[in-house]
């Protein structure tokens, strides 16, 4: 799964790094970044296809945790899904409509994963995962718009797509987020209803990971030292 991310960049740096997308309305999030311990339920800048100008892209604000447009209430009695499995995304009722027509890019600098050392769930070592060259990258996501039937207010939300792990991630976990190569960004957010071949493990040779301290366990801890390598 993918349930925590980090963005070392400022919002302005992120927008420059993904300059093919119009900045849109994400300037309001300026004070929220850098974000060193990003959890679900927070608002993130994501990239979607510009509905007014087909073929172009734009940043929008979205909450992490997908609320489908057809859901009657914003809260369904359980936490909204933060991940969508690539193997069933095209058929799962929660995700299939968004996958077919409302996909997004989730720009980040890295993410976290926990290794269940003994397989008991009681002793987990956290890791930070990023690109080997330190560059920002984009995760594959799906996005949807839910309208409050009483107030008419719109809620835009998203989930991150996951797939089988590559050789690096397989040493600590059985899933990883779908990381897209820049050449595939436009196709992922474009009109193709089923870009299934893009949902694959990213090349392990381009990635790096390192052990970090357990301070990351609480989303309230949002400081740069979270990314410091753990002492042996």
- What are the structural domain ranges in the chain? 5-227
What tens digit of pLDDT does each residue of 142-191 get? 999 999 888 889 999 999 999 999 999 999 999 999 999 999 999 999 99
- For residue 126, the cross-strand partners are 114
Are 26 and 12 spatial neighbours (Cβ–Cβ below 8 Å)? Answer: no
Q: What superfamily in CATH does domain 5-227 come from?
A: SOS response associated peptidase-like (3.90.1680.10)
**How far, in Å, CA of 27 to CA of 58, rounded?**
12
Q: Is the pLDDT of residue 43 over 80?
A: yes
Dist. CA 215–CA 212, nearest whole Å: 8
pLDDT at residue 72 in the model = 82
Please report the pLDDT score of residue 75 as a whole number: 67
* pLDDT tens sequence across 91-108: 999 999 999 999 999 999
Asked if 8 and 109 count as a contact pair (C-beta separation under 8 A), the reply is yes
Across 217-226, average pLDDT: 96
pLDDT reported for residue 5: 98
């Amino acid at each position: 799964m993918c349930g925590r991310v980090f963005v070392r960049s400022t919002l302005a740096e992120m927008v420059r790094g993904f300059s093919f997308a119009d900045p849109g309305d994400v300037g309001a999030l300026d004070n929220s970044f850098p974000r060193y311990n990003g959890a679900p339920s927070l608002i993130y800048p994501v990239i979607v296809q510009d509905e007014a100008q087909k073929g172009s892209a734009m940043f929008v604000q979205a909450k992490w945790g997908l609320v489908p447009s057809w859901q009657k209430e914003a809260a369904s009695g359980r936490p909204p899904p933060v991940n969508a499995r690539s193997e069933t995304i095209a058929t799962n009722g929660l995700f299939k409509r968004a996958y077919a027509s409302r996909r997004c890019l989730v720009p980040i600098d890295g993410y976290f994963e926990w290794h269940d050392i003994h397989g008991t769930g009681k002793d987990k070592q956290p890791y930070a995962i990023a690109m080997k060259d330190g560059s920002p990258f984009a995760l594959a996501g799906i996005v949807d718009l839910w309208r409050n039937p009483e107030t008419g207010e719109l809620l835009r939300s998203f989930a991150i797509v996951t797939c089988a792990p590559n050789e690096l991630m397989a040493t600590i976990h059985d899933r990883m987020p779908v990381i897209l190569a820049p050449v595939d960004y436009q196709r992922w957010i474009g009109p193709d209803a089923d870009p299934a071949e893009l949902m694959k493990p990213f090349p392990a040779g381009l990635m790096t990971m390192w052990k970090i301290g357990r301070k990351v366990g609480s989303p309230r801890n949002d400081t740069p030292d979270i990314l410091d390598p753990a002492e042996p």
